[in-house]
Amino acid sequence: MLTIGIIIGSTRPGRVGRGVGEWVYKKALDHGGAEFRLVDLEDFALPILDETAVPMMAAGTKPHTVRWAEQIAGFDGFVFVTPEYNRGIPASLKNAIDYLYTEWNNKAAGFVGYGSDGGVRSVEHMRGVLSMVRVATVGPQVALTLADDFQDHTGFAPRAKHEPMMSAMLTDLVSWGEALRDVRAPA
């Protein structure tokens, strides 16, 4: 069975990402088709990239890098839960991606974005970033808006209209994760 990490990309104090991530996790468990695990970047406390080697050329050696690499290497795919900060992804998420290379390769990813416009620009930003670490991204994405899916921009209360897109994203993610299994298999 596939193992998919649901990565909460914001580490900002007062963030709403944890609530969104827990909602995604519950929906993923209900959906099935894979084993899902919640991964909160806040739990890894990654400093700004501090490895001297380029991740594409050599694995990192610092304890926080090794711990992060072990976590990501164990997944077959990902759901990235990302806010939109100034038309892009949060620095914490970009930094976490930049720490690794081979651990991301030949896996699939889906997205749940949130922000004033549903986080759609952050998801588009993520698609480009992930293409460089050889992650295949699925088309369906969930776009949560601060005005409609959060009470006073903090209390998370997603509308039911997101259910079909969440299901479509998870279905594609599991399918793509399975399809990439042979590519991930060692030669």
Q: What is the pLDDT of residues 11-23, one digit of tens each?
A: 999 999 999 999 9
Neighbours of 154 (CB within 10 A): 11
Q: How confident is the model at residue 117 (pLDDT cuts 50, 70, 90)?
A: very high
Q: Which residue has the tokens 């997603």?
A: 158
Domains defined along the chain, listed by start: 3-184 (3.40.50.360)
Strand 35-40: give its sheet, edge to edge: 35-40, 3-8, 77-83, 107-115, 135-145
Predicted confidence (pLDDT) per residue in 78-108, tens digit: 999 999 999 999 999 999 999 999 999 999 9
Residues 64 and 45: beta-carbon distance below 8 Å: yes
Query: For residue 85, what are the CA distances in angstroms to 9, 66, 109, 152?
Result: 11, 28, 20, 18
Average pLDDT value over all residues in the chain? 96
Query: For residue 104, what are the CA distances in angstroms to 8, 118, 186?
Result: 16, 25, 15
Q: How confident is the model at residue 187 (pLDDT cuts 50, 70, 90)?
A: low
Nearest 5°: CA angle at 76, between 159 and 102? 120
Q: How confident is the model at residue 186 (pLDDT cuts 50, 70, 90)?
A: confident
